[in-house]
Structures are given as structure tokens and as C-alpha cells.
């Protein structure tokens, strides 16, 4: 007996599978859980517990104490990891971003506080100089403003070591310098940090979607020019494959695609091609668009939040870095 592989009507009525919640849930191809989420969190070095970020409605910068309390909430909600991003006192910024190497700086302090409060929760640290430089670039610049590759990479190695030393579980270079993953991996091995994970922002695009983040970390007014000489051209897809291949070869344990929603095609290609844990970053501008439309009553914010998060799973992401992590996890629980 042969079965026709071509579905035809009325033998096949796809709506049968959609008729009620129980059958929809039984046949769902993808599922989102709190375990898929990495909580993107902005921390600051001031006294105030929480400072709202205008361009990101609902998001607040947290001081050290609030951040460690948030780590406990992450544990209780089943969120496996937190990615921390610093907003520092502008008085501590300079051309070289030297505050990034301060072992008693904001990030090392937050790492220790979080690991004390909730050791089960993974702490992920951005490796890049932009929160610390007076010019807002991710690296060291020459007299023309060009971001120097190898010189920057050498500083990033030091920054990653400071983070690992403070107890960071994952270092996540977001700078897009060539060769920095290999340099960081070698330095971590030599320093005995053989278990420190590297999550590489492997395919990171020069994107307008980072706008609100620059307000969040206070680099908006600082940034001179753009980041097109180091971040990827949104026109390119094959280039992302080369970036990811190099970072894996250099020692990245996991890779990231960023931004998220406008680059789902890249998430799909990367996860299918490399079969390594692949994360998508739902960045500040994506968050801001959803929140702004929701505040105006133009969309159902919660519904769109969940739909976008699920879309990353459908595209093949192992997980999602998102400012919605706490809200989404509460809803999922």
C-alpha cells in the first residue's frame, strides 16, 4: 500500500491540529522556557538602587546591591545566567578605557556580589572598552580615530583576565577585533582559568538597533563616528560564517549573533552550519520598539515579547540574551 506524500484535502486538514489548546501544545515544534534566557542587565556604580533608562521603558540600571538581589531572583525564576553591562561615572572614563582593568572596578565588584548571592547563576561579562572610553569606541584609537586592532586585543586580554579573576563564568568579547578570541583563550589557559567559557559575539553587525544601549551605559554622548570599521556590514551573510568559523577555531565555546530579530537568517545559518551553542541577542533597540509600541497601545507588548523570544528558538538559537528575561520568565513559570 502506498501512502501519498503529497498532502491533499480533505484527507489533510491542517486546521485539525489547531482546533484546541491541548492539541496545539502537544504538537508544538518549539518551546520557550526560562532556561533559554540570559538576563541582560545594566549595572551602575552609584548609590541609587535603580535608575530608569528613558530610551528603554521598564529597564533600570541597578546598583551593586540590587544586582545581587536580582541574581537571587534569576535563580528562583530558573534563569540560568545574567549578562552584565556597566554604566560608570564619566569621571572614570579616559582615552584608553583604563577603568576596564581595575580589579576593584564596578564589574569585578558586581561579579563577586552576584556569585556570593547566587553562585548557581552564571555570570557573563562583556569584553570591550566602550563603557570605559571617553570616545565611546570599543578599543584604542589612533590620531585619526581608527580603532587599532592588535593594540586593542592586548587590552581586551587584560580585561578578560580581570573578569575571570573576579569569578566571571563567561567572558563575552563584543568588540569584533580580529584574533582576540585566540589571544584571550591563550591567556586564560596560561593563567589557569581553563574552565572560563568564551561566548564570542562572533557575528556582530554595525547596527542602528544599539541606540538605546548607548544611553543605558552612558556612551551615547561620547561616541565619535560609527563602528563600521570593526562591526559587520548588514549587507553580509557569508562574512558572518567566516567570523564564526574563526572564533570557534580560536577557542570560543559558544557564539552569538547580534542584533537578533533582523538577523534570524544568520542565527539559522550559524546554528545549522557549525552545530555549536548559538545565542541571539535581542538588543536594546528591539526591546525599545516593543515597549514603545506597547505603551502606545499599538501592540500587545507581552504577546509580542513572547512571540519574538520563541522566534529565536525556531531559528535555531540555543538561547536568547534579552532585557525581557525577568518578565518573560515570570510569565512562563
For position 210 contacting ligand PBG by CB under 6 A, the verdict is: yes
Q: Under rule CB under 6 A, which residues in 64-83 are in contact with ligand PBG?
A: none
**C-alpha pair distances (Å), 277 with each of 49, 99, 308:** 34, 31, 19
C-beta of 122 vs 285, nearer to ligand PBG: 285
Give the binding-site size for ligand PBG (rule: CB under 6 A): 11
| Choices 124-132, 159-167, 191-199, 268-276 (CB under 6 A): range interacting with ligand PBG | 124-132
Q: Please list every residue from 172 through 191 that binds ligand PBG, using CB under 6 A.
A: 174-175
Instruction: Report which of 165, 161, 148 is spatially closest to residue 173, judged by C-alpha positions.
Output: 161
Active site residue 331: no
Note if 204 is an active site residue.
Answer: yes
C-alpha angle 39-46-117 in degrees, rounded to nearest 5: 45
| Four-CA torsion 168, 172, 175, 180, nearest 10 degrees | 90
Q: How does 222-242 read in b/e, with b if 16+ C-beta sit within 10 Å?
A: beeeebeebbbeeeeeeebbe
Minimal distance, residue 235 CB to ligand PBG, in Å = 18
Nearest distance from C-beta of residue 224 to ligand PBG, angstroms:
13
Q: Which of 93, 115, 227, 258 is catalytic?
A: 258
In this structure, what are the phi and psi dihedrals at residue 276, rounded to the nearest 5 degrees? Answer: -115, 160
CB of 304 to ligand PBG, least distance (A): 17
Q: Does the protein bind ligand PBG through residue 243 (CB under 6 A)? A: no
CB of 32 or CB of 256, closer to ligand PBG: 256
Provide, for the chain, the percentages of residues in helix, strand and coil under a 3-state DSSP scheme, each rounded to the nearest 5.
45, 20, 40
Which are the contacts of 94, defined by CB distance < 8 A and separation ≥ 6?
Answer: 132, 133, 134
CB atoms within 10 A of CB 2: 4
Q: Any contact of residue 128 with ligand PBG (CB under 6 A)?
A: yes
Pick one of 45, 138, 169, 250: the residue that binds ligand PBG (CB under 6 A): 138
Q: List residues binding ligand PBG (CB under 6 A).
A: 126, 128, 130, 138, 174-175, 210, 213, 227, 283-284
- Residues classed as catalytic: 204, 258
Amino acid at each position: 500500500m502506498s501512502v501519498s506524500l503529497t498532502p491533499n484535502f480533505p484527507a489533510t486538514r491542517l486546521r485539525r491540529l489547531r482546533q484546541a489548546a491541548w492539541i496545539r501544545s502537544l504538537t508544538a515544534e518549539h518551546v520557550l522556557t526560562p532556561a533559554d534566557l540570559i538576563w541582560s542587565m545594566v549595572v551602575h556604580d552609584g548609590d541609587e538602587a535603580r535608575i530608569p533608562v528613558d530610551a528603554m521603558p521598564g529597564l533600570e540600571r541597578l546598583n551593586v546591591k540590587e544586582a545581587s538581589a536580582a541574581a537571587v531572583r534569576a535563580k528562583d525564576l530558573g534563569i540560568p545566567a545574567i549578562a552584565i553591562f556597566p554604566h560608570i561615572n564619566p569621571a572614570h572614563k579616559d582615552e584608553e578605557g583604563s577603568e576596564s582593568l581595575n580589579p576593584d572596578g564596578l564589574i569585578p565588584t558586581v561579579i563577586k556580589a552576584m556569585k556570593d548571592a547566587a553562585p548557581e547563576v552564571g555570570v557573563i561579562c562583556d569584553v570591550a572598552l566602550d563603557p570605559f572610553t571617553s570616545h565611546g569606541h570599543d578599543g584604542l584609537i589612533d590620531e585619526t580615530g581608527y580603532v587599532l586592532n592588535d593594540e586593542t586585543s592586548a587590552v581586551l586580554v587584560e580585561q578578560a583576565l580581570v573578569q575571570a579573576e573576579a569569578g566571571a563564568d563567561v567572558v563575552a568579547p563584543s568588540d569584533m577585533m580580529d584574533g582576540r578570541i585566540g589571544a584571550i583563550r591563550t591567556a586564560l589557559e596560561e593563567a589557569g582559568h581553563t574552565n572560563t567559557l568564551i561566548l564570542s559575539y562572533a557575528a556582530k553587525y554595525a547596527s542602528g538597533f544599539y541606540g538605546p544601549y548607548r544611553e543605558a551605559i552612558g556612551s551615547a554622548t561620547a561616541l565619535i563616528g560609527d563602528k563600521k570599521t570593526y562591526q559587520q556590514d548588514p549587507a553580509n551573510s557569508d562574512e558572518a560564517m567566516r567570523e564564526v568559523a574563526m572564533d570557534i577555531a580560536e577557542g570560543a565555546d559558544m557564539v552569538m549573533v547580534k542584533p537578533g530579530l533582523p538577523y534570524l537568517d544568520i542565527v539559522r545559518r550559524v546554528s545549522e552550519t557549525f552545530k555549536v551553542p548559538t545565542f541571539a541577542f535581542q538588543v536594546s533597540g528591539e526591546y525599545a520598539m516593543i515597549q514603545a509600541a506597547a505603551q502606545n497601545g499599538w501592540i500587545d507588548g507581552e504577546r509580542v515579547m513572547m512571540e519574538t523570544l520563541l522566534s529565536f528558538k525556531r531559528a535555531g538559537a540555543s538561547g536568547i540574551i534579552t532585557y525581557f528575561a525577568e518578565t518573560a520568565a515570570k510569565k512562563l513559570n
